[in-house]
Amino acid sequence: MSYRRVAGGGKRDAAEPAIVAMLRAHGALVWHIGGAGNPDLLVRYRGVWTPLEVKTGTGRRTRLQSEIPWPVVRSVDDALRAVAP
């Protein structure tokens, strides 16, 4: 598994850099947030805010993440569909 360390000892999914790059290339503003029970990314695209949880192909939400139903994205295509339905 590939990830990068972030403040607080959290992990970033290996798919996240490609997803962030694609969203920004399409004109989205992207913030890395994360933390216990929070989504990984907060995206503003065409005036709409969307929280996204980035997971690997087999990754699952934590119990805290399951309490709020934001989109789980596993690829750049998933992310684009989530912010521009």
Q: What pLDDT digit, counting tens, does each position of 25-59 carry?
A: 999 999 999 777 788 999 999 999 999 999 888 87
CATH of 3-83, picked from 3.40.50.10860, 3.40.309.10, 3.40.50.720, 3.40.1350.10, is 3.40.1350.10
Where does the pLDDT of residue 10 fall: very low under 50, low under 70, confident under 90, or very high at 90 and above? low
Question: Does residue 54 contact residue 19 with C-beta atoms inside 8 Å?
Answer: yes
Confidence at residue 26, expressed as pLDDT on a 0 to 100 scale: 95
Q: Is the pLDDT higher at 4 or at 64?
A: 64
pTM (2 d.p.): 0.78
Question: Does residue 33 contact residue 45 with C-beta atoms inside 8 Å?
Answer: no
Radius of gyration (Cα) for the chain, nearest Å?
A: 12
Domain boundaries, the chain: 3-83
